[in-house]
Structure 1
Amino acid sequence: MNKWYGAAGVCMNEQGQLLMVLQGKREEEKSWSVPSGGMEKGETLEDCCIREVYEETGYRCEIKQMLRVKEGGFEESAFQVTYYEIEVTAGSPTIHDPDGLIHAISWHSADMIRELQLSFEEDRSFLLEYISKKI
Structure 2
Amino acid sequence: MKNLVARLWRLIRGPLQWRVLWLWHAKFMVGVTGVVRDEEGHVLLLRHRMWPPDRQWGCPTGYANKGETFEDTIVREVHEETGLHVKAGRLIHLKSGYKLRVEVAYEAVFIGGTLKIDPAEILEAKWFSPHQLPDGLQESHRLLIQQTAKP
Equivalenced residue count is 125
Q: Aligned runs of 1:54-69 on 2, under 5 Å? A: 54-69=79-94
Structure 1 residues 15-58: Cα deviation after superposition (integer angstroms, max 9, x where no partner): 332011000239x5261111010111231211111100101121
Q: How many percent identity over aligned positions?
A: 28
Equivalent residue number for residue 109 of structure 1: 129
TM superposition shift of 1:10: 1.0
1:90 and 2:112 aligned: yes
- Higher share in strand: 1
1:129 offset after TM fit, Å? 3.0
Between the aligned partners of 2:128 and 2:69, the Cα distance in structure 1 is 28
Q: Which has the larger radius of gyration?
A: 2
CA contact 2:59–2:141 (8 Å) conserved in 1: no
Unaligned runs of 5+ in 1: none
Give the TM-score, by structure 2 length: 0.72
Offset, 1:103 = 0.9
Any runs of at least 4 consecutive aligned residues in structure 1 with deviations exceeding 3 A, and if so which? none
Please state if 1:38 is matched with 2:63. yes
Separation in 1 of the partners of 2:115 and 2:61? Answer: 15
Partner of 1:78: 100
The answer to whether structure 1 residue 22 and structure 2 residue 40 are counterparts is no
Shift in CA distance, 111/94, structure 1 to aligned 2, threshold 3 Å: same
- Which structure's residues are more often helix, by fraction? 2
Q: Using the alignment, how far apart are the partners of 2:95 and 2:121 within structure 1?
A: 22
Contact 1:6/1:48 (CA < 8 Å) preserved in 2? no
RMSD (CA atoms): 2.1
Give the C-alpha shift of residue 121 in structure 1: 1.8
Q: Deviations over 1:58-116 (max 9, x none)?
A: 1111112111114322xxx321121111112220111246xx12111101123332x52
* Higher RCO (CA-CA < 8 Å; seq separation 6+): 1
* Matching residue of 1:49: 74
8 Å CA contact 1:20, 1:32 repeated in 2:
yes
For structure 2, the 5+ residue unaligned runs are 1-25
